[in-house]
Structure 1
């Protein structure tokens, strides 16, 4: 009988050790998976939800998350559509606990210049914010690799391209948010 008791104790100890090892391996796998998550993946999983952001310069932005790209997010801040470089976000409240990676290889490669060029094609009137406040306001005139040009114009007025010498060049690194005028 003592032998049976000894074997039962050994079997119980072995089962407990195996279970603890499995739990440890699962915990490590979860840590590894979470370490690969990107901020934009959490934003992508939050599409359609309201999030509260603080961007460079301390500006607070509450928006319903729309499209999310490689290094940017867009959404509605009240009635206005906004585009925010992910690098300008200092904190976020309300993100989904899960993450969603972009499945499309082509969309995964779209940087912030892609939505800016769409605004350019639409001849959009924009307000460009930097950390210090408004950097430019008017017609989006050009979008380069690392710079955008805005032709100053009052809201609702479409300026002529002949006035392009008055365009304001804004390095994309200085942009905290772009919104519709």
Structure 2
């Protein structure tokens, strides 16, 4: 009878130890999976939801997340469509806990200049915000590899092209948010 009790105790201890080991392995696997999770993948998994971003300069952006690229986020801030460089985002509230990697090999290669070239084709009036406020407002004229050229014009007015010397060139590194009407 004592032997049977001893074996029952040993078996219970073995089962408890095996369960604890399994739980520790699962916790480690979750930690490893989370360590590989990228910010843009969490944003991509949040597509269609409302998140609050804080961007460089302290500005808070309530964004309904749209398309997400490798280095950019698009979406709606109220009635405006905005494009935000991922590097400009300092913090986020309301992101999905899981991530969603970009499935398309082609889309993975598209940087922020891809949606900007679409705005250029649409002859879009844009506003470029930097960390300290509006950098320029007007008609998008050119999209380079690391800079944009905008012909200044107040909102609602068509710019008058008087010459390239009036165009404002903005480094993409300085852009915190680009919005279009």
Tell me, yes or no, whether TM beats 0.5: yes
What is the alpha-carbon distance in structure 1 between the residues aligned to residue 161 and residue 30 of structure 2? 54
Q: Mark the runs of 5 or more structure 2 residues left unpaired by the alignment.
A: none
After superposition, the CA RMSD in angstroms is: 1.4
Which residue in 1 is equivalent to 2:87? 87
What is the alpha-carbon distance in structure 2 between the residues aligned to residue 60 and residue 157 of structure 1? 28
Which residue in 1 is equivalent to 2:37? 37
Determine if the alignment matches structure 1 residue 133 to structure 2 residue 133: yes
What is the alpha-carbon distance in structure 2 between the residues aligned to residue 154 and residue 176 of structure 1? 20
Q: Give 1:13-24 correspondences, 5 Å limit.
A: 13-24=13-24
Determine if the alignment matches structure 1 residue 50 to structure 2 residue 50: yes
Which residue in 1 is equivalent to 2:148? 148
What is the alpha-carbon distance in structure 1 between the residues aligned to residue 18 and residue 94 of structure 2? 38
What is the alpha-carbon distance in structure 2 between the residues aligned to residue 158 and residue 164 of structure 1? 16
150-159 or 134-143, which deviates more: 150-159
**Cα deviation code 1:61-101 (max 9, x no counterpart):** 11111111101101111111000011111111111222211
Which residue in 2 is equivalent to 1:78? 78
Q: Mark the runs of 5 or more structure 1 residues left unpaired by the alignment.
A: none
Which residue in 2 is equivalent to 1:115? 115
What is the alpha-carbon distance in structure 1 between the residues aligned to residue 164 and residue 100 of structure 2? 41
- Deviation of the 1:175 alpha carbon: 0.4
2-11 or 46-55, which deviates more: 2-11
- Deviation of the 1:2 alpha carbon: 2.0
- Deviation of the 1:156 alpha carbon: 3.5
What is the alpha-carbon distance in structure 1 between the residues aligned to residue 62 and residue 163 of structure 2? 35
- Deviation of the 1:162 alpha carbon: 5.7
- Deviation of the 1:154 alpha carbon: 2.8
- Deviation of the 1:161 alpha carbon: 5.3
Which residue in 2 is equivalent to 1:171? 171
Give every structure 1 segment of 4 or more consecutive aligned residues whose post-TM-superposition deviation is greater than 3 Å: 156-162
> TM-score, normalised to structure 1's length?
0.94
Determine if the alignment matches structure 1 residue 66 to structure 2 residue 66: yes
**Cα deviation code 1:19-70 (max 9, x no counterpart):** 1100000000000000111111111111111111111111111111111110
